Each structure stands twice: as C-alpha cells, then as structure tokens.
Amino acid sequence: MQILIVQAHVKPDCVEAFKAATLENARHSAQEPGVARFDLLQQSDDPTRFVLYEAYKTPDAPAKHKETAHYKKWAEVTANMFAEPRTRALYTELFWTR
C-alpha cells in the first residue's frame, strides 16, 4: 500500500471553497479502483490547514489518480487558494488496522 499525505495551508477567504472542491475530488477519488482510502482532515485549532490522507493499492495508482478528470479539475480550481505551497510525502504501509 502506498500512502500519500498532503498538507495544505489555505488562504482564510478560500476555506469554504477549498473544502467544497476537495470534498468533490475526494468523493470521486474514493471510487477509483486503485484507491483504498481518501480522507480530508481539517485542523481543529487552525481551520486554514488541511491534510489529505490518500491510500493507494498499487505503486502506480497515485499517478493514475493525477490523470483523472476530477483531480485535474480540483488542481485547477484550487491552484490560487493556497497560502503557501502544499507539501506531499509518500509512505509505504507497515501496519494497517482495518
């Protein structure tokens, strides 16, 4: 399993629009055959900070995800919403509770 964790800091005036766009992307992403899990988290003490937790079944699934229409739409819609560049880190699953 490949785990991608994306951290995003969004401009305060973009929080609601970012949530709407990202929820739409997450709902479609969860339908992809290579996606095991796709979570959107909002930081409790700073609502401008988000984490996307994406679990992929195969090593090539993250790249396939980026080819989808819903990801491309999300990337375009949210491009100017970030207060700073988002960070991404790819992990390999060692233990997973189901």
Measured CA to CA, the distance from residue 11 to residue 80 in angstroms comes to 9
Tell me which of 47 and 94 has the higher pLDDT.
47
Q: Which pair of tokens denotes residue 75?
A: 């990337």
Nearest to 16 by CA among 88, 81, 87: 81
- The label of the residue with tokens 């790819």 reads 90
- At CA 69, angle to CA 87 and CA 85, rounded to 5? 15
Taking only the tens place, the pLDDT of each residue in 11-70 is 999 999 999 999 999 999 999 999 999 999 999 999 999 999 999 999 999 999 999 999
Task: Give the number of other Cβ atoms within 10 Å of residue 13's Cβ.
Answer: 9
Q: How high is the pLDDT of residue 93?
A: 87
Across residues 79-96, what is the average pLDDT?
A: 94
Q: How confident is the model at residue 97 (pLDDT cuts 50, 70, 90)?
A: confident
